[in-house]
Structure 1
Amino acid sequence: MSAQSEQPPEPELLWEVAEGVARMTLNRPQAGNSITPGQRGQIIDRLGEASADPRVRAVVLTGAGDRHFCTGAALGAPAAPAAPAEDLPEGLPENPAGTVARAIAGGAQQLVSAVLDCEKPVIAAVNGTAAGIGCHLAYACDLVLAADHARFIEVFVRRGLVVDGGGAYLLARLVGPQKAKELVFFGDDLPAADAERIGLVNRVVPADELAGAAGAWAARLAAGPTVALGLGKRLINHALDGDRAASLAEEALAAEINMTSEDGREGLRAFVERRSPRFRGW
């Protein structure tokens, strides 16, 4: 086959915006939808752009195929090239202290933070196995729907690794310290039904209904008061990080900001006029 007739490679990340909903699909089904460094950067960029894009009022994140949502980081995927050893002054280490910490801070942690910090609601549609950072990518989303055959695996312990990618932060807040330790210490498969029972998943649905359920929730969010939803997300995400005074002060500030939005004013007008509000997203 000639080079001219070869098909271009499939994009690793699919992104489509329609009717206020952005659909982001991890598109490496042959590799369990594991995330490469380049793909990770695209996800971070897309979520950052979504915050400021008035066309996007909700985001749905899922994986291609019907077996895997995301099986973690793509081990062995090429990263940014390091400085050649011969370029280093004699006696300096190739991997100085802090190399791993910096890699995690600029990689898995930045990815999870991008989901948490996105100003639009993000729904995870977990269509199969979520493992490692794939679990945390789902848990960072604002709402989690899972196919009935999906499972969640804190796989780090199986590889002799400490949990990373915000896993301890997320799990302790979602299920409490004792259950978080059980999941992290043993790394056992957690079926979708059990994940729903302990509060990691909002709802489990038959696999063939997952896309429709995620679409219905996203459509409801996209028709809602986008500014108020974003501020509410911020308040809830910060609620366990500070004391009561700080939380209440942030709440009051959020209310002030929201009432400068058109949707905030429209909500009050609709209440006074006894009609359904028509939210526009700003």
Structure 2
Amino acid sequence: MNVVDFRIEQAVGYITLNRPDKLNSFNRHMALEMQDALKACETDLVRCVLITGTGKAFSAGQDLAEAVDPNGPGMKRILSEHYNPIILAIQDLKKPVVAAVNGVAAGAGANIALCCDIVVASRSASFIQAFSRIGLIPDSGGTYFLPRLIGHQKASAIMMLGDKISAEEAERMGMIYKYFEDEGFMNEANKIANMLASMPTAGLAYTKKALQWSLTNSLSEQLLNEDTLQQRAAATEDFNEGVLSFLEKRVPVFKGK
């Protein structure tokens, strides 16, 4: 049985975590299926990716029964073979990735969401860095992304205290882009994904790369990288279409090329 559903509709690759009876907690089976789904999103048929969960949760993080199973993969393999490849795949995809957090996002589940390019949540969703409650440290890129999103002091307190952060509070502190009312939440998330899928894909990919580089570059280095990426963007068909549509006063039709 698939525990990750994948489909492509209108150039959006939908990845849906599907272990609702376990609050979409990750085991090896689900982690590897998610890696396969992210790999499938590399096709040109996909111009945006949307990740969400089935049922009441986005993901409760690691399935702890597997983590303590003496016959299981063990913590070393769980990180190196399960979560780290997922985080890197999301970051390396040359297209925007939207996390539609439909419910609780805890532990690695929260950090998978936070590594996405745009994070939206339903009002009833929440984010929990639950690691400290069981004697672990935040993983899956949590210590990298969260302090960059909300600052060191806030991130430190949230991670050490294990606070439950509501969607409204997450938006207010800059952890996520926006939250929507539960009713109609997926419609709003789909609108964002569909809009991104209709935009200049290469330009969005270059923007994603520039933002990633900005985290470690000096200003001078970033200006040089912006120059390089801008020349690549200017060489795309979508740039020509964007300019022509502006001059001709019509809606552009981008092809992702």
TM-score norm. by structure 2 comes to 0.92
Q: 159, 174, 181: which is aligned to 1:199?
A: 174
Asked if 2 retains the 8 angstrom alpha-carbon contact of 1:156 and 1:163, the reply is yes
* Contact 1:17–1:23 (CA under 8 A) maintained in structure 2: yes
Map 1:49-64 onto structure 2 (within 5 A).
Answer: 49-51=40-42, 53-64=43-54
Query: Structure 1, unaligned stretches of length 5 or more?
Result: 1-8, 83-94
Partner of 1:20: 11
Instruction: Give secondary structure in 2 for the equivalent of 1:207.
Output: coil
- Please give the alpha-carbon distance, in whole angstroms, between the structure 2 residues aligned to 1:201 and 1:263: 29
Number of residue pairs aligned between Structure 1 and Structure 2: 255
For the Cα contact (< 8 Å) 1:37–1:78, is it kept in 2? no
Answer yes or no: is 1:134 the counterpart of 2:124: no
CA offsets 1:50-87 (integer angstroms, 9 cap, x no match): 23x1211111110001x1110001223399x98xxxxx
The one-letter code of the counterpart of 2:23 is G
| Mapped pair 1:263 → 2:238 | yes
Aligned match of 1:121: 96
| CA 1:100–1:215: 2 relative to 1, 3 Å | closer
After superposing the two structures, state which structure 1 stretch, 119-128 or 39-48, moved more: 39-48
* TM-score when normalising by structure 1: 0.84
Task: Give per-residue Cα distances to partners, 1:109-167, cap 9 Å, x unaligned.
Answer: 22222212211111111111000001101101111111111111000000011111110
Q: CA RMSD in A?
A: 2.1
Partner Cα distance (2:245, 2:11) in 1: 22
User: Are residues 1:213 and 2:202 paired?
Assistant: no
Instruction: Check conservation: 2:129, 2:163, Cα contact below 8 A.
Output: yes
2:34 matched residue in structure 1: 43
* Residues 61 and 105 in structure 2, CA contact (< 8 A), matched pair in contact too: yes
Contact preservation (8 Å) 1:69, 1:127: yes
CA contact (8 A) 2:87 2:140 kept: yes
**Aligned-residue identity in percent:** 34
Look up the match of 2:22. Answer: 31
Structure 1 residue 172 displacement after superposition = 1.2
2:208 pairs, out of 233, 236, 239, with 233
Gaps spanning 5+ residues in structure 2: where?
A: none
